[in-house]
Structure formats: C-alpha cells, structure tokens
Amino acid sequence: MQADYVIVGAGSAGCAMAYRLSEAGHSVLVIEYGGTDIGPFIQMPAALSYPMNMSRYDWGFMSAPEPHLGNRRLVVPRGKVIGGSSSINGMVYVRGHASDFDTWAQMGATGWSYADVLPYYLRLENWHSKSGGDPTWRGNDGPLHVSRGPRKNPLYHAFVEAGRQAGYQTTDDYNGEQQEGFGPFEQTVWKGRRWSAANAYLRPALKRENCNLIHGLVQRVVIKDGRAVGVAVERGGKVEMIRANKEVILAASSINSPKLLMLSGIGPAEHLAEHGIDVVADRSGVGQNLQDHLEVYFQMAASQPITLFRYWTLFWKGVLGAQWLLSKTGLGASNNFESCGFIRSRAGVEYPDIQFHFLPMAVRYDGKAAAEGHGFQAHVGPMRSPSRGVVTLASSDPKTAPNIQFNYMSTEQDWVDFRRAVRLTREIFQQEAFKPFVKHEILPGDAAISDDDIDTFIREHAESAYHPCGTCRMGNAADPGAVVDPECRVIGVEGLRVADSSIFPQITNGNLNAPSIMVGEKAADHILGKMLPQDTRAPWIHPDWQTEQR
C-alpha cells in the first residue's frame, strides 16, 4: 500500500487535493475513517440537522466545560464520513472577507493575501445565479456548484428590507465585490442535492486509476530521520504501514490534525512527554490558537402562519421527503438559509464583524422547534472574537478523543461585542418591514434590556456555529508559534504538510467550508510547484468606515 501522496481525511480540503494531485498525474491515496455519504439524510439539503446529530456521521466531540458559559459543554460536530464536515454542515457558502486574507498575509502567511486566494475561489466555483451579482467576480466552471435558494417566503425579503430600513447597505453578492450588507444567501446545493466536497471533487477523482480511497483509523505519521515516510493505519483490527513516496498530507480537521501531529511526536515537548511520546519536533503552537464563531438564535414569534413551522409534522416531513426523493425539488431541496447580512458593529471597524443567518422558522440546530409554534430567527454573533482555546491530548491512545477547550467569552471585549450584536439584531426586527409579521420577541425576550440581562441570555443560550479552526497555525518558518509555513509544510519535519481549517492564522468572516476548500485547492498548487497569478482587484470597503457604523 503506497502512493506518491497519502492524504489523511476525505473532507473539504482533502477531497480538493485528491482531485488536483491526481489530475496532475500523481498517485494519491485518501484515508478516511468514516463510511459512505450515500443516503437521504446527507444528500437532502433540508435534512441538515440529522447528519450532524448522528454518531454514524459525526465524531461526537464535546468541548470541556466552558467556564464563561456557565460550565456548559458544547457539542463540536465534525464529519466522520466521506466528504467530512462538508457532508454534515449547513451548506452555507461564504468565501470570507477580502481583508481576512490580507490579515493572514500580515500575520506571516505570505502569499495568502486576497489577491493570492481570489484566483483559487474563481477556479473552484461553478456559480449559478439568476438573482443578481457580478459574474466577473465569480467562477463558472469549477467543481463546486454554488447556488441560491428560491426565496419564496416573504420573510426572506422582509429581512433584507429591514436591514435597508435600518440604514445598512444591501448587496446582491456578498461573495463578490461587496460583502457588507443584506442580501441573498448562497449554498453548496446543485439540482436539489447537497454538493459536498465528496460530490464535487472525490467522486470524479476516484474515477481516475491513480486515485484510491481506503477506510481506516490513522494512528500516527511514521517519521524516519526527520522525514515523514507514511502513516500507521488500523484496518480490520490490524495496524499496517502505508507508504508515501513523496509526502504525507494531514487534512483531518482542526481537531484531528493537531491530535495526529502530537501522536506523531510533533507538538509542545512538555505536553508530549506527559503522554510518553518521543519528541520529533518541538512545536509549541500545535493545538493552540483554537478559534470558533459563537452565536445566539434571536427568535421572534410570528403573527401570521407563514413560517416553515407548518411543515414541522411527521405528515408534512413525509410529504416533503417524498417530493425530494422523487424530483429533488420543494422545500427539501434547500438548506432554507436564503437571506443573510454582514455588518460592522461600530464606526472604526473596517470590515464586517457580525454575521446574520436568517431562517423563516424558530428552531435549533439539534432540530428542536420553539415551543411557541410559528416564528422566525436570525443566528447572530461576532466574527472575530479575541478569545483563544486549545486542543490537547487526553491520552496517547489514537482512539481517545482529544480535550477541546474553546475558552469562549474569556475577554471583556467578547461581552462588549456580543451585547452590541444582540441590540443591533433587535433593532432590525423592529423595522417597518417586519411589522406585518412580528407578534413578539421569544428570545432573548422583550424584558432582556440591561447588560446583565443580555449577558445572562448569552451565557445560557450561546451555541457554537461549528467553525473551529486555527490549531496548526500557518506563519513564517521562524515564528516559534507557527506550525506550518506558507506552503503548508510542517516546520521541522520533511515530507509532511497540513492543509485544512487548522492552518488558518485567524478565523474568517462567515462559514468555513469555502475557505477550507480553497486551502485544499491552493495547497495542491504549492505541492505541484505552480501558482495561479494574482488577481489584484480591490474589494468594496465602506468609504466612511472610520466615522460611520452603517
């Protein structure tokens, strides 16, 4: 069992690399612990709350008790299935703001500015829009189909209009020139099916003779004389060595990639010694710099029975499921996140730091509907929390889940930013556009006015948006806290790279699937030694950002 490139993890980045490296003629072997993604729970977009709550498809990680959230333990879903988390996520497609990537470059990830990454977004996308947007900012022949929902429910339009009435910009394509504002949301859905990295990249790659997939639990990277030569994999009760003739590439998630590095002797020396692991490379940054987006569901009771709650019965779920199975159409063919907003929390913030996901129903990610029946909600939270967490080994046994401590809301700035996000959301729901539809506020509730009231609401109700990243930070090779250099090579070990959301120096603005796929695309070109030329177009920045909030 050997290949030029051994990729650990068939997720968003891993599938993209398998496609590009095999396209270039190299032999590629992808190792995935999880099983098949075939089945309606994954492929039907509206069923998104099922796979992320099923042990068959999810690693089932939990955070440690979070001290600033009342010691609650939060779920940390990560895809344990072909396609990785792109097979269990909400299918929301957000590139991130241009300034995110310019910040990466400033933090030491040279060659990852917006001008550097924009060509890779253009290459990966196959963009479908009949509702506006400038196609010159979008790709139209890439593997990843990106579409928009039909936005038939009037509440989708009320949300965008309320944003406009509150004085914010509107944007017809937040993934194009202008992210800031309110407008239609985009989703990785094509012809009514979830368009995961498995559908976009892995299935076409596996049709080539030089790309193969095997199932097994990777225990560690095998390193000889300072060079990665393969991986140890448990399959069918036996451990075997799979050789990499050129390189081993970890694309196992921001939770499992640092875990595998540490199990392989790459990480903070003291921590490795605690678990009896011989140190190959003392890299203090492995597992550090953990970031995520935290959000609350701001829920409103509806005065008219026009929300998706009317379909929240076994009968209607059966009808919509049958319609989807037969024709891939209807409400089952969308993730139902079809309007969104990106705003700046205050004057002096250069680019958006608050994101809204709007949903015409009051329901949680775990599928629990609000007790009040008809309602709607915005998921809202700050995009750039200063809090940082850590992933550490709980044991040297590869089968043991690592310790995950996000350290959410650990700075005063977190609370200031989050209170502001809650109050700005309330203001949007109070606009004229919502007058025909609003009955009253469910959560946090009309009585939650003071800082203390809002803090209590956040402490009790904030949930992860499931965007963990940053645990194998990319940076300058001389930076002691960096884990990989700007070509995704692990610093201090030859023949080993990491390419997934764990290498993000700072979390991007919005959902992480798109930038994770972009990392896979760009990492493949670093491996192949050929880069796309820069695209130096300037994105839109609010002209009065220093003095105006909107």
Query: Residue 393 has which token pair?
Result: 């080994």
Positive/negative CA dihedral, 3, 5, 7, 11? negative
* Type of residue numbered 214: I
**293 is an active site residue:** no
The continuous run of DSSP H or E covering 156 comes out as helix 154-165
Please list the alpha-helical segments (H only) found in 166-286.
197, 203-206, 253-263, 269-274
| Rounded CA separation 244/533 (Å) | 30
Please list the alpha-helical segments (H only) found in 196-313.
197, 203-206, 253-263, 269-274
* Type of residue numbered 135: P
Q: Is 319 annotated as a binding residue?
A: no
| Rounded CA separation 90/359 (Å) | 12
Q: Is 91 annotated as a binding residue?
A: yes
Q: Is 81 annotated as a binding residue?
A: yes
Strand boundaries in 383-531, DSSP class E: 390-392, 403-405, 438-443, 463-464, 496-498
271, 467, 526, 542: which one is catalytic? 467
Q: Is 493 annotated as a binding residue?
A: no
Of 419, 487, 498, 406, nearest to 452 by C-alpha is 419
Number of H helices, E strands in the chain: 13, 25
Q: Is 92 annotated as a binding residue?
A: yes
What burial class does residue 43 get, using C-beta atoms within 10 Å of its C-beta: 0-12 exposed, 13-18 middle, 19+ buried? buried
Query: Residue 229 has which token pair?
Result: 């030569």
Q: Is 76 annotated as a binding residue?
A: no
Strand boundaries in 171-322, DSSP class E: 181-184, 186-187, 189-190, 193-194, 211-215, 217-224, 227-235, 238-250, 266-267, 281-282, 294-302
Q: How many Å is the Cα radius of gyration of the chain?
A: 22
- Per DSSP, the residues of 52-82 read GG-TTTB--EEPPPBGGGTTBPPEE--B-BT
Q: Please say whether the beta carbons of 244 and 228 come within 8 A.
A: yes
Which residues have a catalytic role annotated? 467
Binding site per annotation, positions for FAD: 81, 89-92, 218
